[in-house]
Amino acid sequence: MAEQSNSTGPTGSSRFLILGVGALVLAATFVIVWLQSAKYEPLVVGKEAPDFALTDLNEKPYRLSDFRGKVVFLNFWATWCAPCREEMPSMEVLNKNFEKDGLVILAVSIDRVTTAKDIPPFVKGLNLTFPVLLDSWGKTDKPYKRMGVPETFIIDQQGLIREIIIGPKDWTRIDNLRTITTLLNVTPKTVGGASAPIAAPNKEGGL
């Protein structure tokens, strides 16, 4: 009489289970890889500016989305950044010239807790009057994927990014203001040619 074979191989149902688990693992791996690649995808012109909530030096809360309907000049900087210090005075001129036309300047300091103490004397020394916000814990690092500091995002009235500027600029130069003046629908008065320092803007239509 032939001996009955004791098969130890997987049954049809167990093989199906193994294949199913394998498919789930592959799908999960694909999702993780896709999320990691999306994480490092930079912001581009035309995308909505990521919202955030931060406080200023007086602990007054600010939320980016609260400024819908205005043009926002969102600048990231740090006290240890020499080009940031060079750029700030021209940002103050920009603020004084265009604040009444609907421009909002938000200067977000990325100084961490070790250098945050340097922010008040920095602001006072340059007589800055626009809001300086604190991001000591890096809330904006991931959503804005900055290349460095200074870095500026020009955001339109609908909350869309219209220009990204990496590095410092002289914001008293007319040729650096094209996006801003177009969005505000203003024409700045100049002393000389297209690269002359800005004075007071007037409502004479777009560029």
Comparison of pLDDT for 42 and 156, the residue scoring more: 156
Within 8 A by CB and 6+ apart from 185, the residues are 203, 205, 206
* Average pLDDT over every residue of 153-164: 98
Provide the pLDDT confidence category of residue 26 given band limits of 50, 70 and 90: low
Residue whose token pair is 């940031």: 84
In this structure, what DSSP letter does residue 50 have?
A: P
Q: By residue range, what is the domain housing residue 109?
A: 53-169
The answer to whether residue 32 is domain-embedded is no
pLDDT band at 195 (very low <50, low <70, confident <90, very high): very low
Structural domain contains residue 91: yes
Sign of CA dihedral 115, 56, 176, 199: negative
pLDDT at 42 (0 to 100) = 76
Q: What's the confidence (pLDDT) of residue 30?
A: 57
* Chain centroid, CA 76 distance in Å: 7
Pick 182 or 188 by higher pLDDT: 182
Q: pLDDT by residue (tens digit) across 64-105?
A: 999 999 999 999 999 999 999 999 999 999 999 999 999 999
CATH number, domain at 70? 3.40.30.10
SS (H, E, C) 24-47: HHHHHHHHHHHHHHHHCCCCCCCC
Inter-helix orientation angle 119-126/82-98, to 10°: 50
CB 187 within 8 A of CB 169: no
* Percent above pLDDT 90 for the chain: 69
pLDDT tens by residue, 107-152: 999 999 999 999 999 999 999 999 999 999 999 999 999 989 999 9
6 half-sphere exposure, CB direction, 13 A CA radius: 0
Assess if residue 126 is contained within a domain.
yes
* 139 part of a folded domain: yes
User: Is the residue at 14 inside a domain?
Assistant: no
Q: Answer whether residue 154 is part of any domain.
A: yes
Total domains in the chain come to 1
Q: Is the pLDDT of residue 163 over 50?
A: yes
pTM greater than the 0.85 cutoff: no
Mean pLDDT of the chain: 84
